[in-house]
Chains A and B, each alone.
Chain A
Amino acid sequence: MKLVSLVVTLLLGALLLMATADFPDWGDPQSPASLHVSDYYIENSMEQTSVPNFVTSILADYRGYDTMFETTVIFCAGLTVLTLLRRNHRRQKKVVMSRPKRENQDLILTSAARMIAPMMQIFALYVVAHGHHSPGGGFQGGVILGASFILLALAYDLRTILDRLKERRALIMCGIGVAIYAGIGAGCLLLGGNFLDYGVWGKVLGVSPVEARSHGMLGVEIGVAITVMYIMFSLYADLSSGGEMDEGL
């Protein structure tokens, strides 16, 4: 089996190598990937949306439809992991799970985690809010927020953190995150524009359409950050406890 796969892989490699003879050189400004659509985005992004970061303006405004469905994919992945791993405890006797265990907590780890986690969260909120002017945006900020909860759950016990961040509330908030995104888009429909055309929010907010696009982008980034944060934590909680949700790593 290994020999067959090695031969097939090397054949595929040789074919791809022969195909790269036609590719443009690395770093060529005239390569076809950089010619047709992306120079429209580079030239007109600042005048039409007043956001200096081209990547954020393409992600949240020009190609906002893709981002909405990507958020839905993350949400569905979190639900799938929950469905696969949670066990049914109705046949056994009821397990009392609300008392956190405090015996095996290390003093150095918990003190260090308690000092680092608020800094991580402030930095993550800065990344979300400043995504228009610097590298960042909704996804990055959401993942860092989720990682701060994972850090606390690694230093303390998983049960201690689950007392504060219950599973049902996490899932409801994920749904609210996706609903914020779709809601901003549907609001555009109600106000007379196309779906996800943020310029028409200017009538309600009282600003010009260019500024309204910038504010609409901030709104959808917040929705994405909320969903990603709760899903990252719930993925960790499900996978590291085998579905039981009582002992962490």
Chain B
Amino acid sequence: MTLDASLLWQFDFLIVLMVIICAVAALTFKDLITSAVVFGAYSFFMCLLWTEMLAVDVAFTEAAVGAGVSTVLFLGTALHIKRRAKD
């Protein structure tokens, strides 16, 4: 019994679209804390993409590291420097 739902192209396309929107948003906002939170969402959507490609170990690591530790590191830095970027 194989998981044959691995290449449903509609699902794939939707998640890829969300990934690109989150990446553009994280780079455009001027408030650094907002960028950090949207980067956490980007990480989580990448994890979903890899689960859909049946790479379960990679998705597990990205969920723990990207949406957990990496977002908190960005937030911790953004609170010690100026919160507002100029571009």
Contact = CB atoms under 8 A, between A and B. Distances in A.
> Is B truly associated with A?
yes
B60 interface: yes
Interface residues of B, number: 16
Interface string B6-50: 010000000000000000000000000000000000000000000
Contacts of A55: 57
A94 B76 CA distance: 26
Contacts of B77: 239
A146 B64 CA distance: 10
B70 to A, nearest CB: 10
A137 B79 CA distance: 33
A236 B69 contact: yes
A150 interface: yes
A137 B69 contact: no
Interface in B44-73: 56-57, 60-61, 64-65, 68-69, 72-73
B24 to A, nearest CB: 14
Interface residues of A, number: 22
Interface in A140-163: 140, 143-144, 146-147, 150, 154
B76 A147 contact: no
Contact of B73 (A135, A140, A144, A239): A239
Contacts of B73: 235-236, 239
A135 B76 contact: no
B50 to A, nearest CB: 11
Nearest to B75: A249
A181 interface: no
Nearest to B55: A55
B69 A240 contact: no
Nearest to B77: A239
A143 B72 CA distance: 13
A242 B80 contact: yes
Contacts of A236: 69, 72-73, 76
A136 interface: yes
B57 to A, nearest CB: 5
A55 B65 CA distance: 18
A56 B60 CA distance: 13
Interface in A196-249: 232, 235-236, 239-240, 242, 249
A144 B64 contact: yes
Given A236-B76, A249-B76, A249-B79, A147 B60 contact: no
B69 to A, nearest CB: 5
Contacts of A137: 57
Nearest to A136: B60
Nearest to B58: A55
A135 B75 contact: no
Contact of B61 (A27, A56, A143, A239): A143
Interface of A: 26-27, 55-56, 135-137, 139-140, 143-144, 146-147, 150, 154, 232, 235-236, 239-240, 242, 249
16 contacts: A26-B7, A136-B57, A137-B57, A140-B60, A144-B64, A147-B64, A154-B72, A232-B69, A236-B69, A236-B72, A240-B72, A240-B75, A240-B79, A240-B80, A249-B72, A249-B76
